[in-house]
Amino acid sequence: MVKRKRNSLPQLPSKTDLKQLIRNQTDVSLSFAKQVSQTESKDSNLVFSPLLIHVVLGLIAAGSKGPTQSQVLSFLNSKSTDDLNSLTSQLALVFADGRPTGGPKLSFANGVWVDQTLSLKLSFKKVADTVYKAALNHVDFRTKAVEVTNEVNQWAEKETMGLSKKFFLPVQSMI
C-alpha cells in the first residue's frame, strides 16, 4: 500500500506495483465484460469502457466510507483508495500524452453534481479535482431539475466536443 500524507496528491506506484494494479483492473474488466455479455441478447451490440468504469467507481470509492467503500474496492480488486488514485493519476498522464511517437491520446471528462443542501468533504474535493479532474457542482435538484439536466447536457456537450449532446433526458423532478 502507498503511504501518503492526508490530503496530499497520490504517489505514483513503482513499475512493479503499477503492473499489478493494471493486471487487477484488467481482470475486473474481463470479468465485467463476461458477465454483461452473458446477460445481453445475442442479437445486440454492446460497447463499454473499462477505463470509465474504473474512474467512476474510483471516484465513488474516494467519496465513500465503510461498507460502501469496501464493496467498491472489492469489486475493483483494489486494496485501497490510495491504489486507485495512484493508478488513475498514472493513466491520466499516459493517455494525455498522445505524442506522435507513442501512446494513444484519450480524452475524458468527469463531473459531480451534488444537491446544494449537501456538503462535500475537503479531502474528497481535493481528490476529485487533482486525481480525477472532476468538475464539482452544487445544484438545486429539488426545484430546478430541468435546469440542472440542461446544465449537465451542456457541460457534457462542451467537454466531449459535441459528441454527447443529450447525456440526460429532461425530467420534471429528480427527487
Claim to verify: residue 74 and residue 126 sit in the same structural domain: no
**Which grid cell is 114?**
451534488
Residue 1 lies in a domain: no
Claim to verify: residue 116 and residue 81 sit in the same structural domain: no
- Of all residues in the chain, the percent with pLDDT exceeding 90 is 34
pLDDT for 7: 43
Residue 4 lies in a domain: no
Claim to verify: residue 71 and residue 130 sit in the same structural domain: no
Amino acid in the structure at residue 12:
L
Last residue of one domain, picked from the residues 66, 91, 106:
106
Claim to verify: residue 64 and residue 89 sit in the same structural domain: yes
CB count within 10 Å of CB 67 equals 8
pLDDT for 1: 37
Claim to verify: residue 83 and residue 115 sit in the same structural domain: no
Q: Are 83 and 11 in contact (CB under 8 A)?
A: no
- Of all residues in the chain, the percent with pLDDT exceeding 70 is 79
pLDDT for 3: 40
Domain limits for position 19 = 10-106
d(CA 139, CA 120): 13
pLDDT for 104: 64
Residue 2 lies in a domain: no
Mean pLDDT along residues 104-116 = 83
Claim to verify: residue 18 and residue 102 sit in the same structural domain: yes
Mean pLDDT over the full length of the chain: 81
What tens digit of pLDDT does each residue of 40-53 get?
Answer: 767 777 777 888 88
Claim to verify: residue 16 and residue 96 sit in the same structural domain: yes
Q: Are 98 and 105 in contact (CB under 8 A)?
A: yes
Claim to verify: residue 26 and residue 101 sit in the same structural domain: yes
Nearest to 88 by CA among 68, 102, 103, 108: 108
Going by pLDDT thresholds of 50, 70 and 90, the confidence category of residue 2 is very low
Residue 117 lies in a domain: yes
Claim to verify: residue 87 and residue 52 sit in the same structural domain: yes
Claim to verify: residue 68 and residue 142 sit in the same structural domain: no
**Highest mean pLDDT: which of 30-44, 105-119, 131-145?**
131-145
CB count within 10 Å of CB 41 equals 7
Count of structural domains within the chain? 2
pTM: 0.71
Side-chain-facing half-sphere of 122: CA atoms under 13 Å: 3
Last residue of one domain, picked from the residues 106, 125, 155:
106
pLDDT higher than threshold 70 for residue 156: yes
Q: Are 108 and 133 in contact (CB under 8 A)?
A: no
Residue 3 lies in a domain: no
Mean pLDDT along residues 7-27 = 69
What tens digit of pLDDT does each residue of 57-95 get?
Answer: 999 999 999 999 999 999 998 889 998 888 888 777 777
pLDDT for 4: 38
Tell me which DSSP letter residue 168 carries. S
**Which grid cell is 81?**
483508495
- Residue 134 belongs to a domain with what CATH number? 3.30.497.10
Last residue of one domain, picked from the residues 106, 141, 159:
106
